[in-house]
Amino acid sequence: MEDFSAVIDKCLEPVFTLFGEQQDIHQWFRDMSGAVCQDVLKLDPTGAECARVFAAQAAECFELNFNAVELQVKSLDPDYRTACTKGCSYCCSSHITLMPQEAFRIADMLRKSLGRKDLKGLLKEISKGGADYDEKGFRGFGEDYFRPCPFLREDHCVIYDIRPLSCRNWMSQDIEACKTSYESRNKISVPQNAILMIQKELVFAGQNAALSRYGIRGEICSFLPVLETILGDYEGSYEKWLSGEVLRGQLED
């Protein structure tokens, strides 16, 4: 089993690349992910509520970190503004990645709140959205993905309170850039504040490191394929995940 620092560094490789050879910033990111790791090590990762508790902890930690960092950004840049408003959904046709524990949390809520007919219809829609995942693989599927999220209803998210960190972390300062990206089918990126946009990666890395202690795979997943797998067999998928197996839709390297 890899030690915590090795897992964190591996997860944060893309983040380190963004900030070049600035080792002091690299260490700051390591420390933040390490704090996340130590926080969730207090939790029992083997119980029936493990995924829900880990995901809820991740969301709370993310919100605290993101809000604190955003305040610092605003203090340094008086012109900083966000263009995101209620009812705006240009980003909701993007490929969403999430931690497996987030997927289990969402699936658990859906199983408890939807009737059999509605759940069956939703599963059909999710399956259609992820139909070519096995052919294209994680990266190919993500690069080509462009379709409205199945949880988008009249430009509103119906799972907003438990939405993935990737959705929480999306923050635009220019609505026109969002429109351009949408019209290009996400081939044109929306400019982002790098410090804000890596906050989810710090939580990912910390929770992944904590799960590695128990041999549980914490690598990110493609939203629709992994959700289809879990909704199709929640108990079986959960048992496989706790035993260290890679789920369909989960990044393997």
Residue 114 lies in a domain: yes
For residue 2, the model assigns a pLDDT of 52
For residue 1, the model assigns a pLDDT of 40
Residue 252 lies in a domain: no
Question: With contact defined as beta carbons under 8 Å apart, do 23 and 41 qualify?
Answer: no
For tokens 């408890």, name the residue. 112
The encoded tokens of residue 119 equal 């759940």
**Cβ contacts of residue 28 below 8 Å, gap of 6+?**
none
| Angle CA 105–131–239, to nearest 5 | 35
Question: With contact defined as beta carbons under 8 Å apart, do 91 and 170 qualify?
Answer: yes
SS3 content of the chain, % helix, strand, coil (to 5): 60, 5, 35
Cα 221 to Cα 32, 63, 66, 236, distances in angstroms:
22, 21, 22, 17
Residue 30 lies in a domain: yes
Residue 74 lies in a domain: yes
Residue 14 lies in a domain: yes
| pTM across the whole model | 0.94
Q: State the distance between the two ends of the chain, measured CA to CA, in whole angstroms.
A: 15
For tokens 């009812």, name the residue. 87
Q: pLDDT tens string for the chain (253 positions)?
A: 457 899 999 999 999 999 999 999 999 999 999 999 998 888 877 777 889 999 999 999 999 999 999 999 999 888 888 899 888 999 999 999 999 999 999 999 999 999 999 999 999 999 999 999 999 999 999 999 999 999 999 999 999 999 999 999 998 999 999 999 999 999 999 988 888 889 999 999 999 999 998 899 999 999 999 999 999 999 999 999 999 999 999 998 6
Residue 247 lies in a domain: no
Range of the domain at 108: 4-242
Residue 250 lies in a domain: no
Number of other CB atoms surrounding residue 219 within 10 Å:
20
Report how far residue 153's alpha carbon sits from residue 46's, in angstroms, rounded to the nearest whole number. 35
Report the number of distinct structural domains present in the chain: 1
Residue 24 lies in a domain: yes
The encoded tokens of residue 13 equal 């490789």
